[in-house]
Structure 1
């Protein structure tokens, strides 16, 4: 039997990326034509097309990141205000939670928390955990993000009031501590890699009453003297200029959030 090459996954991702780029370009060119020629009755179809594209981008981005060997994982270490990053992200997520039929809240113990890290990756980590919380809570549920400080560590908690994790586990199966019974779990694995890259950890906890919380513990690393503080970009363009917010939450937002007019606003 012919053996499968070890780098098959890399080759598949490269091929997938090439086709995704073609698809994204075609969607961008097609959208104004349909809007002008076909009329507003076709906009729901455009929204579904955009949502599917964003979901594929998210899946591909996660696969690309997870296939990187540990030795090739890199981060851009800059001085940043972690509280400001979380607050801004909370504001953006809150504006979308209503469209998903959810209530979202953000809490913080400090108005400013200066540390060192990769703001883009930290946003990605939090969005992955928030997408998981949105999915778990379901329509009518509640989710939230909280920033606290315990000694020399920043504690980021993403919580939901969904049904929680399955308590019955087959002992014969190896279980990932970040596993949940729905989805592939790629976003959670990416989040764990990003936390580890910052010297941190992620732990899932079953809440006493209902729901789950993902607790991220990160070391607070004061910037070196003379280092300029950078404000992380609100929208990450790893997907070719597409909003990181919409890409990472694409699996849990309704298609109405992807109407072209909404994406352009």
Structure 2
């Protein structure tokens, strides 16, 4: 949901930013066009008012100021003349023949603001007469616009206000559209959250997010169908494993019983009793394998109930290690237990049967994968609020292929059998812990299990009187 909120916020800010950017670009375009227009205007060295003011009276008549030559004064202009009060020409410079005549009052009024014979002209009333100067034909467009002073003043007042209102209107439109989009996207986000939790999603498909909602609906339907198929397959797998385990358990018990009887029968030759012992050992491995297979299936699909109880670590592990030492598996190994003072006082909330199976699998793994008798050291400790169990031996250690499989390397036909160690990982994970497998130094295998300690209960105070 937070992702969609950030998305909407960015959308709103981007929309407002785009509006402001367009406004500034429009102003910049006006400034650019104005600057470009100045480059297209006729280039003149001196303004017409400067030239008019520079005219002087001489004994020979009017003349351009002596500060510059006539050519310098008239740079950029086509011609110039001065008319007296009667319309006659007193002075002229480069005046075309067609314009060299007296002018009536009406003619002066006609060209004073715009053109004289298509020449753009500027006029200045001076003491010596009317100064008229013309530009080249087609070099300038002149047109007069008439308006009232009140209208100009009202424009000066309303343009900034109107500009601000337009910006506000654009921002309101962006926020309204964003709000509507946010409501649609919130519905889609809720659907995504529900879909992530495995729920069925059926979203309304109207609005701009309708296509996305429709796709989510189809995805939800497909996932629901697939989940149902997976659930049926997992149920069938679990039931098949449980059925096979149950069917194999009875004949396997008979094989173990007969093998033990034959192994203890003193009438049989020694070689026959050894073979019976081998049958018993292999049958026990097969029984352990079947139990691991059944347990890992239940743990994987959550059908194994956790009967957690609170135990003191010290007595619990002394009892578990003692039980293992009394089993036939311990005949080919030497097991020692070391517990720190912190571990002795620690508490664990665990399923005792599963924890016993975890320890049994780790100890049994050290025995089965070492041909010679091994020394196994079990250590318990507490670090922070985590209980640490370490099982290390002095055997040959884990093969690299086993460590690679435990670290999640994709399995193939050459991947070694690690079902017992996988059960250890599952039991630890079911209790909120984890397992690390590695090599012991200087030699041997080492497995470390971390489990959360039981939460300490606050002491209850007795004998306190409460007065209200």
Report if TM-score (shorter chain) is over 0.5.
yes
Name 1:121's counterpart in structure 2: 354
* 1:137–1:211 Cα contact (<8 Å) kept: no
Q: RMSD of aligned C-alpha atoms? A: 3.6
Name 1:91's counterpart in structure 2: 322
Name 1:199's counterpart in structure 2: 432
* 2:260–2:277 Cα contact (<8 Å) kept: no
* 2:252–2:287 Cα contact (<8 Å) kept: no
Name 2:285's counterpart in structure 1: 55
Tell me by how many angstroms 1:34 deviates: 9.1
Tell me how far apart the structure 1 counterparts of residues 360 and 256 of structure 2 sit (CA, whole Å).
25
Tell me how far apart the structure 1 counterparts of residues 371 and 258 of structure 2 sit (CA, whole Å).
34
Name which structure has the greater RCO, CA cutoff 8 Å, separation 6+: 1
Tell me by how many angstroms 1:104 deviates: 2.5
When structure 1 is superposed on structure 2, of 182-191 and 26-35 the one drifting more is 26-35
SS at match of 1:117: strand
Tell me how far apart the structure 2 counterparts of residues 25 and 79 of structure 1 sit (CA, whole Å).
37
Larger radius of gyration between Structure 1 and Structure 2: 2
What is the TM-score of this pair, normalised by structure 2? 0.40
Tell me how far apart the structure 2 counterparts of residues 22 and 113 of structure 1 sit (CA, whole Å).
43
Tell me by how many angstroms 1:43 deviates: 4.3
Deviations 1:73-121 (A, max 9, x none): 3210112122222112223444557621x33221111334332111111
* 2:324–2:330 Cα contact (<8 Å) kept: no
Name 1:232's counterpart in structure 2: none
Identify the structure with the greater helix proportion: 2
SS at match of 1:217: strand
Name 1:21's counterpart in structure 2: 250
* 1:97–1:104 Cα contact (<8 Å) kept: no
Tell me how far apart the structure 2 counterparts of residues 224 and 22 of structure 1 sit (CA, whole Å).
49
Tell me by how many angstroms 1:58 deviates: 0.8
Is residue 2:309 matched to residue 1:78?
A: yes
Distance 1:113-1:49 versus aligned 2 partners, 3 A rule: same
Name 1:150's counterpart in structure 2: 383
What is the TM-score of this pair, normalised by structure 1? 0.67
Unaligned runs of 5+ in 1: 226-265
Q: Aligned runs of 1:178-217 on 2, under 5 Å?
A: 184-217=417-450
Unaligned runs of 5+ in 2: 1-231, 459-468
SS at match of 1:67: helix
Equivalent residues, number = 216
Name 1:103's counterpart in structure 2: 334
Tell me by how many angstroms 1:142 deviates: 2.2
Deviations 1:223-257 (A, max 9, x none): 769xxxxxxxxxxxxxxxxxxxxxxxxxxxxxxxx
